[in-house]
Structure formats: C-alpha cells, structure tokens
C-alpha cells in the first residue's frame, strides 16, 4: 500500500472511493459542479491510499480554514475531511498510515492546528485529536414559547438583549446568499471555535443548508440603519415543526429578535433550533424554564495541536499565571514539557525541565485549548494528572475562554 497526493484529475476516483467507504452513492452534481458538498474539496490537499494491485482503498483531505480562538485571534487551521477506507481494507492500518502522512504534511506547510468532525468518537483520539466544542438542539413547543421581557437597562456589556431597534425580512435562500456570506463572516470572527466558510463554499453551494442550495426561507435581521446583522435559515414541515438550520447573530439582541420571529411563526406546533451552544442564554429567556427541551447534545469540533508553544501563544488569555505542562504525543512519538507564562493577556511558552504542574495527552490539551472543557473536569475524569494542590484550579482560570467556544460549520 502506498499513499500519494491527489490533483484535480483525481476528483472522480477520490469521490467514488470515499462514497464506497461510507456505503453511499454520490448524488449527480449540477453541470456547473455546484450543489454537492465535495465541490469545495481542495484536491491539492488530498491523499489517496492505493493498494499493491493499484486499486484506490482510502481517502483523506484537508480544507484551508481559519479558526477563531479565545480572545478573537483568527488563525489558519487545517480542516481534516473526506476520511474513508474501503470496507474490504479496514483494520489493516490504512487510516493510521494516512493520518501519519497527513500530520507530517500539515507540519511541513507550517500548520500548527488541525480540526475535524468525527463520524464516530473512538476513531481520532489515538491520532492526537480531542473534542473541543459541543452543540445541541433545542425544541420549543409553540404553547410554551413566550419569552421574558429584558430587564430595563440592558446587559453589562451595553448590549440591550431583547430591545430590538431593527427589523426582520423574509427572503429565499437563493435571493440572499451574499448577505448570508457576509453576516456569517462577521459572526465567525467574533465567535471562538467558529470556522471560516470560504467564498467558494457559498458560490458552489457546497455544504449543508443554508450553504447548500436546498430550498429555505431566511429571516434576515437588519439593524436600525438597514445593515444585515443576523439571519435564521428555516423550513416548515408538514407536521408543523419549524426547523431552524442555524441562527447567526452578531450580538445577543439580534439572536433574541430572530428567536422571537421564528417562535411567533403561524401554523407551527414546535420550533427546533439546531446548533445551539450548550450554555446559550436562549433557555433562560423563556417564561417557562422547561420550554427549551435540549437534545442531541454532541461533540462537534475536534482539535489537534501540531506545535504546542505556537498554538498556546496564538490564543488570547485573560488571567495572569504560570503553569508547567508535561505533554505526551504518543502517535507522533513526542514528549515535551513547557512553561506557560501569561502576563497582561499575552502568553509565553518555552521548553523547561522544571517539575510539572499538570501531565496530559496532546488530545486532552486539544480539548481544553478553546476553553470548551475545563482542565479540572479532565483531572476529575482521570485524563489529566495534577501534581500539586491548586494546579487544576489555576489551569481552569487560565484556559477560560471569555466566551464559550462554538462551531456549527459542517465539513
């Protein structure tokens, strides 16, 4: 078996091999190549595993994304995708070989972070990835949908949750792709854990609704000056269930206005909000606290650090402190001990031979990196070892993200 890079000429064999790995048949692409998720594949970043008899048996790809870190820093991140091995060639080390090859290539390009969505949770931890953001669904029966009025004076940061001076307009997805792209881009730059959606994704309709051209109505919110600052893409099913694919808002009051809009839609028995972050304020905005029924809570973005000091110094930090981290990377056969020093919101991270405060696997460092899981949770789970009293509590304060990370981009 050998692994080789792909080019644009390989797109058919790549897509067919990948679909066979998933046991599916590819849909027929539109004449312009748009409307199917794989039209945005970056074939110059793909890998094909080829058996000794010349048959393709495995695929892996990577997208060139940007990831927003705690503190609002926007950095490049490889979005690992299209991973599949033919059913006839499974559990023979094909994926392991592709992962080794890919991680080497990512490092050679200068990437210091890679991310992915896992089809099954047991697959990727062995390769150094840890679950880092979470998402879920909120189902709201229409008769319980009343929202509380905001307390006069607004929120501490000056945003007036619920007091909306803007308006909502209903458009078809086809009419407003440019608006969606622009609003999503503003939103993702301020949201830790969010990924960019490169222009060609929107242009080609590559992804899930509302990126894909599936028929959708979109409630577009505009501010008092008429500038779009949020949207909710939705569809109404026969049973009276209104499903919101995603609610994108550049601030909380816009989210509330969009929620109020879909919850007030006629001929609806319940509203399902997909992709709501676990700690989202929406649940607290119902008069009836049990109105928002949470389900489908799941991991979303998995993060892998390819260069620990670079990754740690790239994100924003909010509390001063110093920690010695002993980091194991068994897949790459590496081990490093680093002193992380945060002063005035900036981190320095250099190798050290001091005694460690915490010992952890690189996959667990990926899980705490964006602030979506606290180090003390992983200490309590037995995944991270703390070597002195107070080390986990200090790590909790240091790794805190300010705003919880969330990602809803599917790739």
Ligand X SMILES: CC(C)(COP(=O)(O)OP(=O)(O)OC[C@H]1O[C@@H](n2cnc3c(N)ncnc32)[C@H](O)[C@@H]1OP(=O)(O)O)[C@@H](O)C(=O)NCCC(=O)NCCS
Residues that are catalytic: 124, 411
Q: With respect to ligand X, which residue has the nearer C-beta, 87 or 351? A: 87
Rounded least distance, CB 8 to ligand X, Å: 23
Q: Given the complex with ligand X, which of 231 and 300 has the nearer CB atom?
A: 300
Q: How far apart are CA 170 and CA 219, in angstroms?
A: 5
What is d(CA 95, CA 118) in angstroms, rounded to the nearest whole number? Answer: 13
Give how far the C-alpha of residue 175 lies from the chain's centroid of Cα atoms, to the nearest Å.
26
Structure tokens at 375: 């180090």
Query: In Å, how far from its chain's centre is CA 134?
Result: 8
Provide, rounded to whole angstroms, the least separation between the CB of residue 83 and ligand X: 4
DSSP 411: -
The rounded distance, in Å, linking the Cα atoms of 55 and 107 is 28
Question: Nearer Cβ to ligand X, position 367 or 376?
Answer: 367
Both structure tokens of 349: 């991270």
Distance of alpha carbon 9 from the chain centroid: 30
Tokens for 225, please give them.
């000056």
Cβ atoms 306, 106 nearer than 8 A: yes
User: Minimum distance between the CB of residue 210 and ligand X, rounded to whole angstroms?
Assistant: 23
Instruction: Provide the sign of the torsion angle of the four alpha carbons 67, 233, 180, 252, taken in this order.
Output: negative
Q: What minimum distance in Å lies between the beta carbon of 131 and ligand X?
A: 13
98 or 268, CB closer to ligand X? 98
Q: How near is the Cβ of 21 to ligand X at its closest, in Å?
A: 4
Supply the minimum distance, in Å, between the C-beta of residue 74 and ligand X: 25
Q: In 202-320, which ranges are E strands?
A: 217-222, 228-236, 241-249, 270-276, 293-299, 302-305
Nearer to ligand X by C-beta: 81 or 212?
Answer: 81
For residue 333, give every residue at least 6 positions away whose Cβ sits within 8 Å of its Cβ, in sequence order, or none: none
Closest CB to ligand X among residues 92, 377: 92
**Cβ distance 84 to 272 under 8 Å?**
no
Q: How far is the CB of 114 from ligand X (least distance, A)?
A: 13
Rounded Cα distance, 35 and 207, in Å: 8
Q: How many Å apart are CA 93 and CA 72, to the nearest integer?
A: 38
8 Å CB contact between 336 and 354: no
Residue with tokens 């602030």: 371
- Whichever of 118 and 378 has its CB closer to ligand X, that residue is 118
For the chain, the residue count is 411
Handedness of CA 53, 54, 55, 61 (dihedral sign): positive
Name 63's bridge partners: 79
Q: Output the smallest distance, CB 305 to ligand X, in A.
A: 19
Q: Which residues of this protein are in contact with ligand X, per CB under 6 A?
A: 21-22, 83-85, 90-96, 118-120, 122-123, 126
CB of 93 or CB of 402, closer to ligand X: 93
Write out 301-322 in H/E/C secondary structure. CEEEECCHHHHHHHCCCCCCEE
């Amino acid at each position: 078996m050998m692994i080789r890079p792909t080019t644009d000429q390989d797109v058919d064999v790549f897509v067919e091999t990948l679909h066979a790995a998933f046991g599916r048949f590819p849909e027929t692409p539109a004449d312009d190549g748009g409307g199917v998720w794989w039209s945005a594949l970056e074939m110059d970043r793909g890998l094909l595993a080829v058996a000794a008899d010349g048959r393709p048996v495995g695929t892996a790809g990577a997208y060139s994304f940007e990831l927003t870190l705690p503190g609002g820093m926007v950095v490049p991140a490889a979005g690992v995708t299209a991973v599949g091995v033919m059913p006839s060639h499974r559990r023979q080390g094909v994926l392991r070989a592709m992962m080794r090859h890919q991680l080497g290539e990512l490092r050679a390009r200068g990437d210091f972070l890679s991310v992915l969505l896992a089809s099954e949770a047991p697959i990727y931890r062995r390769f150094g990835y840890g679950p880092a953001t979470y998402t879920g669904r909120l189902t709201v029966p229409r008769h319980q949908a009343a929202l509380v009025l905001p307390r006069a004076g607004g929120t501490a940061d000056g945003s007036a949750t619920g007091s909306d001076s803007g308006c909502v307009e209903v458009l078809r997805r086809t009419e407003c792709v440019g608006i969606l792209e622009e609003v999503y881009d503003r939103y993702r730059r301020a949201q830790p854990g969010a990924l960019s959606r490169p222009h060609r994704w929107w242009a080609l309709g590559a992804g899930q609704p509302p990126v894909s051209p599936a028929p959708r109505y979109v409630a577009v919110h505009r501010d008092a000056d008429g500038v779009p600052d949020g949207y909710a893409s939705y569809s109404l099913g026969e049973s009276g269930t209104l499903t919101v694919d995603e609610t994108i808002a550049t601030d909380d009051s816009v989210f509330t206005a969009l929620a109020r809009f879909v919850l007030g839609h006629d001929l609806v028995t319940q509203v399902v909000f997909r992709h709501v972050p676990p700690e989202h304020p929406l649940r607290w905005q119902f008069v009836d606290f049990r109105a928002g029924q949470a389900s489908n809570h799941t991991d979303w973005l998995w993060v892998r650090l390819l260069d620990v000091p670079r990754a740690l110094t790239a994100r924003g930090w909010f509390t001063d402190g110093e920690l010695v981290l002993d980091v194991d990377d068994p897949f790459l056969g590496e081990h490093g001990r680093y002193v992380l020093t945060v002063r005035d919101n900036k981190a320095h991270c250099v190798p050290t031979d001091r005694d460690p405060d915490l010992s952890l696997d690189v996959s667990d460092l990926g899980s705490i990196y964006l602030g979506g899981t606290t180090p003390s949770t992983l200490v309590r789970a037995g995944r991270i070892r703390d070597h002195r009293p107070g080390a986990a509590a200090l790590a909790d304060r240091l790794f805190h993200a300010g705003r919880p990370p969330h990602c809803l981009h599917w790739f």
